[in-house]
Structure 1
Amino acid sequence: MKVSLENKDKVNGLLSVTVEKEDYQEKVEKILKDFRRDAQIPGFRKGKVPMGLIKKQHGIAVLVEEVNKLLSDGIYNYIKENDIRIIGNPLPNEEKQAELNFETMEEFEFIFDIAIAPEINADVSKEDKVDYYTVEISDEMINNQVNSYRSYTGEHQTVESYEDKDMLKGHMAELDEEGNIKEGGITVEETVMMPSAIKEEEQKLIFENAKVNDVLTFNPYKAFDGNKAELSSLLKLENNEDIENLKADFSFQISEIRRFVEGEINQELFDKVLGEGVVSTEEEFKEKIKEQLAYRYGLESEYKLQKDLHQLLLDKAGKIEFPDELLKRMFKQEQKEELTEEDYKKAIEDLTLHLIEEELVKKYEIKIEEKDIQEMAKSVARLQMMEYGALSMPDEIIDNFAQNMLKDEKTANMLITRAINEKLTAALKENVTLNEKKVSTEEFQELLTK
């Protein structure tokens, strides 16, 4: 087999592979003999089928498969032995590739276009300055989180007098122009309403300080600004078309007022949020919440730093020459649709960053071991648990969750990539100068959108 590479320029190559008869003949003949040994064809004893018949039935398929194997191995070995960095997979050359006939030809020449990865220099030094943001965990943030957790142990209670955000149950009846219950008008038994959701301020004030058994007069259409969905739900109407003409006042007789009362800050709350016996005082509870908030925002700070480091690397690399036409062919084959210039620009940026990171991983001798992947899986599992409010979970549960994540190949590859990026970020932090800045959550969220 002959393999050669012609460099059309720095990033475009023409790879030629010639598969000759002596490369495949012995293997093809062996496979056909195995077919003949096992073949069972009516009219012939097992193992006695004429080789000509075997070749007629299987010869071309065996030849094509064997040539393709040799071709694939030949390309891979040539690229590896000659240390050629390519992007994507070789594509058949659309101009020079001749048509192949496996029935008549004995020698097969394949010509491929290959995209050669450009040389990129994106070295960093202590002269490079990057902002590193730390979110200050304020008492207000801690208290807001405590109040959020108090809803876990809260309950609805029946009260006698209305306050903002209470829920009202009652009987509604449509009124005529004189304020009397309209004969044949709409009546609704046991409807539910939250006056705090009313959009029109004057209508909302009607319910202020209302008590059980009070009968109030209000206008639903004005109250909810004619919103069909809200009015249909309140008045239990099936036909939304009726609402457009339904602008009358209604009476609302309150039968029940229910108020959600947040749970107390006590041991029940501590145990429900953090686990039994983890803390025993409000001070300890708040300190744990502060730690968890710091951990969560710490991850977001690392994410922001990673984005800023990526931009630094891209700026360092500058304008890179890529085999644009060939890459567009590749992307089109992968996506099965036309690629917009904006899509291509984003793809090239991602590719540039990927090539830079590959070089830096080699430079900093970054290695990923099994324990790194396990720790990353546990970190992601712990973060997902926190998103659902489980701030403290036993190690056994975290471990099981992590192992289940690693069973999925796609998720496992994502975790490996994250583990590499984490180590690469750590290495870059050691090689640049970090400007450490403390910011509020509002300032940090604004920074993330830039």
Structure 2
Amino acid sequence: MKSTLNKTDEVNGTIVIELEKADYQENVDKSLNQFRQRANIPGFRQGKVPKSLIQKLYGKAVKADEINKIVTDEVGNFIRDNKLKILGEPLPDNSDEKLVDLENDEILKFYFDVALTPEFDLPLDKSVELTCHKVLLEENLLDEQMDAYKKNYGTYLSVEDEAKDTDLIKGTLTELSDSEDKDNLQVIENAILMPSYIKDEEIKSSFTGSKAGDKVVFNPKKAYDNNEAEIASLLQTTKDKVKNIDSDFSLEIKEVTRYQEAEMNQELFDRVLGEGVVTTEEEFRTRIKSELEKQFKPNADHLFIHEARDIIVEKMKEVKFPDEFLKRWLLETGENRTSEQVEDDYPKILEDLKFHIAKQKIAEENNISVEFADIEALAAEVAKAQFAQYGMTNLPADVLQNYTKSMLEKEETVQNLYDKATEDKIIDWLKENVTVIEKEISSKEFNDLMNERTRLQEEN
């Protein structure tokens, strides 16, 4: 077997695979023998079918299949062994003059067109200026976050006051009946309701202003406008068991509890950030502000790398690419893609390709690599950020570890994390090697900037 690369120019070439009979005949004979062992043909015992009949029935198909396997493997091996940097995938040359006659050609020649990654210089030094946005959180947004923590970490406390519609009223709920059958009447010892959820205004008002020791008689069906789910919740049963309940109930109020926001004290600091991390309100505000501003970093890096992308693509404007091959490859591998669509989409695809190989070049020339430890660390950061969006900044270590582990069990997630980790390292390299212009910006202005970029991307 002989394999060669014939370059037509610096970015186009053809891999030629030459096979002689000795390269494939052993594999063909082995496969035909396996067919013979398995063949179930009338008139012959299994495994005793004549070789000549097996050859006649399956010879051509088996030969074609084995040759295809050998050629496919050899193309991949040739690319790997010769460290060829190709774009897309090899495409077979099926022109008439390159067709192979498996039965009559003594030497079988197979031709595969390939696109070669262009060689180019990419000067990225201090002469290149890139903007890095530093997002500053407005004080009113920080105040809103402080209020949110006080609300989220508050608790219900017993009060002696008259009940408000947002209080929780607890007591014993007893079914009432005028009939003599009192054996099956329901009694819910620890019933709980909040007046604000009651639909009927008259019944709602009978609870508003009540207090411990009072008894309120009402009809749950009327109170909740026949909503079976809410009635079932009150009666601590299932929806199917409340369909025929139309009795009045008496609630003997045992306790009224009111939600009290958490105080801005050490207990709140510890619950949000962990025990002893901060000890004063000023330290708490500073730490939370810093954590919230960190949440803007991924988007700030997104703007940074996209500005770098624009500059890199411009620097590669004169770099020659195998355009015709790439269009052919897009057409042949794209499901339901037309020639017109390829022509329309190609300029944008080419820009993406330029940036992709530029990142590869930066990584290779500067020994930038991603280890699994990097992926694990990034997964933990992503998990923390996801929980932080809901104000959950002090997760137990085992919860975070288990969530991160579940992320890393998904192959697609791992690949996305690998790509992100690689890009993060390239961003770090760029920040060290180009001139970075730091621009302070409010979170509102930054969000407006991100929304505008998203709009422009959607339009394009």
TM-score of the two chains, using structure 2 as the length reference? 0.68
Cα distance in structure 1, aligned partners of 2:197 and 2:74: 79
Distance 1:320 1:327, change over 3 A: same
Cα distance in structure 1, aligned partners of 2:354 and 2:274: 46
CA shift, 1:361, in A, is: 0.9
Deviations 1:329-383 (A, max 9, x none): 2222333213254522211111001111111111101122121111111111111
Cα distance in structure 2, aligned partners of 1:272 and 1:144: 18
1:376 aligns with 378
CA shift, 1:70, in A, is: 1.5
State the identity as a percent. Answer: 35
Q: 1:427 aligns with which of 426, 429, 432?
A: 429
1:31 aligns with 31
Cα distance in structure 1, aligned partners of 2:373 and 2:30: 46
Distance 1:56 1:280, change over 3 A: farther
1:321 aligns with 320
1:239 aligns with none
1:444 partner amino acid: F
1:82 aligns with 82
Q: List gaps (5 residues or longer) in structure 1.
A: 160-166, 172-188, 192-211, 213-259
CA shift, 1:153, in A, is: 5.5
Distance 1:280 1:430, change over 3 A: closer
2:300 partner amino acid: S
2:165 alignment partner, SS class: strand
CA shift, 1:275, in A, is: 6.3
- For 1:282-301, what aligned pairs fall within 5 Å after superposition? 282-301=281-300
CA shift, 1:263, in A, is: 3.4
Cα distance in structure 2, aligned partners of 1:345 and 1:147: 50
1:54 partner amino acid: I
Q: Contact 2:387/2:393 (CA < 8 Å) preserved in 1?
A: yes
Distance 1:394 1:326, change over 3 A: same
CA shift, 1:146, in A, is: 2.1
2:412 partner amino acid: K
Distance 1:95 1:32, change over 3 A: closer
CA shift, 1:69, in A, is: 1.8
Q: Contact 2:38/2:46 (CA < 8 Å) preserved in 1?
A: yes
1:8 alignment partner, SS class: strand
Cα distance in structure 1, aligned partners of 2:88 and 2:72: 14
1:290 partner amino acid: K
Cα distance in structure 2, aligned partners of 1:401 and 1:348: 38
Deviations 1:130-171 (A, max 9, x none): 222211234223112223444535799539xxxxxxx99999
1:386 aligns with 388
1:344 partner amino acid: Y
1:158 aligns with 165
1:330 partner amino acid: W
Distance 1:50 1:79, change over 3 A: same
Deviations 1:15-63 (A, max 9, x none): 3323321210112112222333454545434432211222234333322
Q: Contact 1:133/1:301 (CA < 8 Å) preserved in 2?
A: yes
Q: 1:413 aligns with which of 415, 438, 442?
A: 415
CA RMSD of aligned residues (A): 3.5
2:93 partner amino acid: N
Cα distance in structure 2, aligned partners of 1:296 and 1:84: 41
1:122 aligns with 122
1:62 aligns with 62
2:58 partner amino acid: H
1:89 alignment partner, SS class: strand
Q: Contact 1:132/1:305 (CA < 8 Å) preserved in 2?
A: yes
Q: Contact 2:330/2:342 (CA < 8 Å) preserved in 1?
A: no
* Structure 1 stretch displaced more, 120-129 or 20-29: 120-129
1:263 aligns with 261
CA shift, 1:280, in A, is: 6.7
Cα distance in structure 2, aligned partners of 1:20 and 1:317: 44
CA shift, 1:64, in A, is: 2.2
Cα distance in structure 2, aligned partners of 1:325 and 1:261: 69
Cα distance in structure 2, aligned partners of 1:106 and 1:378: 60
Cα distance in structure 2, aligned partners of 1:115 and 1:383: 41
Cα distance in structure 2, aligned partners of 1:400 and 1:74: 43
1:158 alignment partner, SS class: coil
Distance 1:82 1:169, change over 3 A: closer
Cα distance in structure 2, aligned partners of 1:309 and 1:404: 33
TM-score of the two chains, using structure 1 as the length reference? 0.70
2:11 partner amino acid: V
2:49 aligns with 49
Q: 1:400 aligns with which of 391, 399, 402?
A: 402
Cα distance in structure 1, aligned partners of 2:263 and 2:328: 62
1:87 alignment partner, SS class: strand
Deviations 1:267-292 (A, max 9, x none): 68657655688667644542332131
Cα distance in structure 1, aligned partners of 2:358 and 2:260: 52
2:417 partner amino acid: L
Cα distance in structure 2, aligned partners of 1:376 and 1:148: 28
Distance 1:266 1:11, change over 3 A: same
2:129 partner amino acid: K
Deviations 1:60-114 (A, max 9, x none): 3322222122212222233334333211111123535644454665643322222
Q: Contact 1:169/1:190 (CA < 8 Å) preserved in 2?
A: no
Q: Contact 2:28/2:62 (CA < 8 Å) preserved in 1?
A: yes
Cα distance in structure 2, aligned partners of 1:262 and 1:330: 65
1:232 aligns with none
1:24 partner amino acid: Y
Paired residues, what number? 363
- For 1:139-150, what aligned pairs fall within 5 Å after superposition? 139-150=139-150
Deviations 1:156-213 (A, max 9, x none): 9539xxxxxxx99999xxxxxxxxxxxxxxxxx769xxxxxxxxxxxxxxxxxxxx9x
Q: Contact 1:100/1:108 (CA < 8 Å) preserved in 2?
A: yes
2:393 alignment partner, SS class: coil
1:126 alignment partner, SS class: coil
Cα distance in structure 1, aligned partners of 2:42 and 2:330: 50
2:184 aligns with none
